[in-house]
Structure 1
Amino acid sequence: MNNPTLENKVFLALLLLVSIAFCWVLFPFYGAVFWAVILAILFAPLQRRLARRFRGKPNLAALLTLLATLLIAVLPMAIITTLLVQEGAALYQRIESGELDIGAYLVQFRDMLPQSIQSQLQRVGLGDLQDVREQLSGYALQGSQFLATKAFSFGQGTFEFLIVFAVMLYLLFFLIRDGRQLVAKMREAIPLEDEQKRRLFSKFTRVVRATVKGNVVVAITQGALGGLIFWFLGIPSVLLWGVVMAFLSLLPAVGAGLIWTPVAIYYFVSGDFWHGLILTLYGICVIGLVDNVLRPILVGKDTKMPDYVVLISTLGGLALFGLNGFVIGPLIAALFMSSWGLFIDREPEEALE
């Protein structure tokens, strides 16, 4: 005897089971799949323009879009990563050989402070900086050692990296070419009303573009501007500090000021007034204003999240997903807020029925 309710439950359980199994199979390549989806969404407008120009040639339009993606997004990041690893290896050698002593700069900075401030440091137990000096030197050595290790381990993991990179490119090509058909099939499979599905997918696309452009592009811009002023002032390891400022720019409560502010203070205390003034004005008027000028343009009002949500989601994503978490964390938070926004907008309509 047929039982439609039981059949539906069994079918849904089977559907859930095979979906979990499929995600489990893809998990070793989740980074490749994730970035393929993100890049396909970001470069979808370019693909549509090329598809209109080369009508009847979808493979050619997809291939040209893929080449543009490599030149604009992938190749610059690969070059910067390679240079960063090399600079980290050189920095590790300088610290290990004793040529660069981070703790000595801290002691020198303390000695430059006025006597009244040094007395206050003595009262709160910060007069003896030996422990702090050892900790800072240890952190600097660990950080540079991590980058140096990456330089040696990259050769060992080259084959694995090439496989993941090839999977991403292969998947990205088909997502670019067949993305609209895949989205249409996904919309048919979701058991929601057509208007809700349209709003949900539209919101998802806008959130992805806004999150990546609003966070990553602003961070890259601030890091590049910070590295530029460090190069102008003759500060060593410009690329390393620029990348650190770019990552810190992803955290609204911290920002790139955590790097350039202590350097400006050091200039002022050491008597180099003009360098300190230049760095301070540049940090406030140029680096600081990038977030206020670019982010509203790239993100927009409808997808902007509170700073505390960005901070928590970024740190949580970093802890769970590693480096990819800088994008995954804010993206999940943005989609969470957007989905609940759609649900709240839907409630009044149901109450009136």
Structure 2
Amino acid sequence: MRSPLEQKSFLALLLVVSIGFLWLLKPFFAPIFWACAAALIFFPMQKKLLTKWPGRHSLAALATLLVCTVLVVIPVLAVATSFVTEGVATYQKLQQGNLDPQKYIDTFRTGFPSAYHLLERAGVEFGNLGQQLIEGIKSAGQFLGKRALAVGQNTFQFFIDLGLMLYLTFFLLRDGPKLVNMLIRALPLGDDRERLLFKKFAEITRATIKGNLVVAAVQGLLGGLIFWFLGIPAAVLWGVAMALLSLIPAVGASLIWLPVALYLYAVGEIGDAVILTLFGALVIGLVDNLLRPILVGRDTKLPDYVVLYSTLGGLSLFGITGFALGPLMAGLFVAFWQIFIQEFNTEPVPEEPGPDDQQQEQGSNPGRQP
């Protein structure tokens, strides 16, 4: 029997060593996070393959990782390359004077004179707006150029991180259940509660990644396709922009396609404007309502305002990874409080009598006057 001093000393050293190990892994936070997310999302495929190949965990994990690479990694790299290419081309056109924002402002004034004068009376200075837009786009272009240069200089580091992510994903797929059981034995929260928490974590991670990123990818793809069909320049650039903005609830991709539809209407291309408006409202706009309940599920769906604030907070704290990590942390926050309410708040919540209860009560007391 160990003395309390020995136990406390060991726990203190355990805490120090654990914090030191986590600090050691801090430079690899993004690869580790995405490896865990990929393993959780594709683990159902791993289980199905194991039913066909019993006992061959490494082969099933390798096949699952190959599918993940083909379906996710390669398309994302291709879209990112096209996005950067079109963004650089658009910035060069702006610098060369081939792209003039003032032209679009004049078109808006001609097509929507009432709205133009209304905005003028509201304090919008259209005379300097074109120049301000040019300066803003140039500043954004210079910022993106510096970031792109940094990415280009760190290409080797990027592929190292990608390789580490895929490497860790393989082992998480192969040894995931063993690692979870080991954590359940190590954590002092109670096995049943720990299994529930791990189950919630897996559900919320799958729901967050699939629900947010897959819906964003589908909306961006549909938006890019309709722009390409209508002959709108830089369709990939605008498609990626719609995919990113679709993470914002309520408005999302309409921040891109709606102004373009208004511009098409202003320049007299009524048919294209109607097609884009109908497609944006009936197809792109309904993707969220149709796909998200299927991918997320009603039990883990977060309110739109929670998704909005957690996404913006995740972006500000964790960069691009915050698109997924922010809503994930919000989902875990809600899950922990739900478990706390279920397990520690044992007082019954009084329910107000409904119409059926009132009718039943009146039926049991026929002499009672209404």
TM-score (norm 2): 0.89
2: CA distance, partners of 1:227 / 1:44? 31
CA contact (8 A) 2:94 2:100 kept: yes
Could you give the per-residue CA deviations for residues 116-142 of structure 1, whole angstroms, max 9, x where no partner exists? 44433332232x323322222223233
Identify the match of residue 209 of structure 2 among 212, 215, 232. Answer: 212
CA contact (8 A) 2:208 2:296 kept: yes
1: CA distance, partners of 2:120 / 2:333? 49
Q: Secondary structure at the match of 1:191?
A: coil
CA contact (8 A) 2:107 2:263 kept: no
CA contact (8 A) 2:110 2:266 kept: no
Identity, in percent, stands at 52
CA contact (8 A) 1:267 1:275 kept: yes
Indicate the residue corresponding to 1:125 in structure 2.
123
1: CA distance, partners of 2:309 / 2:140? 23
Offset of 1:350 from its aligned partner? 8.8
Q: Report the AA paired with residue 271 of structure 2.
A: W
CA contact (8 A) 1:92 1:145 kept: no
2: CA distance, partners of 1:269 / 1:129? 17
2: CA distance, partners of 1:110 / 1:8? 76
Indicate the residue corresponding to 2:246 in structure 1.
249
Indicate the residue corresponding to 1:42 in structure 2.
41
Asked if residue 338 in structure 1 is aligned to residue 335 in structure 2, the reply is yes
2: CA distance, partners of 1:286 / 1:345? 40
2: CA distance, partners of 1:145 / 1:172? 36
Indicate the residue corresponding to 2:60 in structure 1.
61
Indicate the residue corresponding to 2:354 in structure 1.
none
Offset of 1:18 from its aligned partner? 1.5
Q: Report the AA paired with residue 111 of structure 2.
A: M
Cα distance change on mapping 1:52 and 1:104 into 2, 3 Å: same
Could you give the per-residue CA deviations for residues 27-68 of structure 1, whole angstroms, max 9, x where no partner exists? 111111111111011111111122222223222111111111
The correspondence of residues 317-328 of structure 1 with structure 2, limited to 5 A, is: 317-328=314-325
Offset of 1:155 from its aligned partner? 3.6
Could you give the per-residue CA deviations for residues 179-237 of structure 1, whole angstroms, max 9, x where no partner exists? 11001111111212232122111111110101111100000001111111111111100
1: CA distance, partners of 2:166 / 2:289? 34
1: CA distance, partners of 2:188 / 2:222? 47
2: CA distance, partners of 1:319 / 1:265? 32
Indicate the residue corresponding to 2:19 in structure 1.
20
1: CA distance, partners of 2:182 / 2:115? 67
Q: Secondary structure at the match of 1:82?
A: helix
Asked if residue 301 in structure 1 is aligned to residue 298 in structure 2, the reply is yes
Q: Report the AA paired with residue 205 of structure 2.
A: V
CA contact (8 A) 1:86 1:151 kept: no
1: CA distance, partners of 2:300 / 2:120? 48
CA contact (8 A) 2:216 2:246 kept: yes
CA contact (8 A) 2:254 2:280 kept: yes
Query: 197-206 or 268-277: which moved more?
Result: 268-277
Q: Secondary structure at the match of 1:43?
A: helix
Q: Report the AA paired with residue 168 of structure 2.
A: L
Matched pairs, number: 348
Indicate the residue corresponding to 1:313 in structure 2.
310
CA contact (8 A) 2:316 2:322 kept: yes
2: CA distance, partners of 1:289 / 1:255? 12
Q: Secondary structure at the match of 1:324?
A: helix
The gaps in structure 2 that reach 5 residues or longer are: 349-370
CA contact (8 A) 2:311 2:324 kept: yes
RMSD of aligned residue pairs (Cα, Å): 2.0
Indicate the residue corresponding to 1:141 in structure 2.
138
Identify the match of residue 181 of structure 1 among 175, 178, 182. Answer: 178
Q: Report the AA paired with residue 232 of structure 2.
A: I
CA contact (8 A) 1:88 1:145 kept: no
Q: Secondary structure at the match of 1:305?
A: coil
Indicate the residue corresponding to 1:112 in structure 2.
111
1: CA distance, partners of 2:171 / 2:274? 52
Offset of 1:151 from its aligned partner? 4.8
CA contact (8 A) 1:309 1:333 kept: yes
Could you give the per-residue CA deviations for residues 270-326 of structure 1, whole angstroms, max 9, x where no partner exists? 332222211111111101110000001111111000000000000000001111100
Larger Cα-atom Rg: 2
Indicate the residue corresponding to 1:283 in structure 2.
280
Cα distance change on mapping 1:79 and 1:147 into 2, 3 Å: farther
Query: 174-183 or 133-142: which moved more?
Result: 133-142
Indicate the residue corresponding to 2:193 in structure 1.
196
Q: Report the AA paired with residue 310 of structure 2.
A: S
TM-score (norm 1): 0.93
Cα distance change on mapping 1:135 and 1:11 into 2, 3 Å: farther
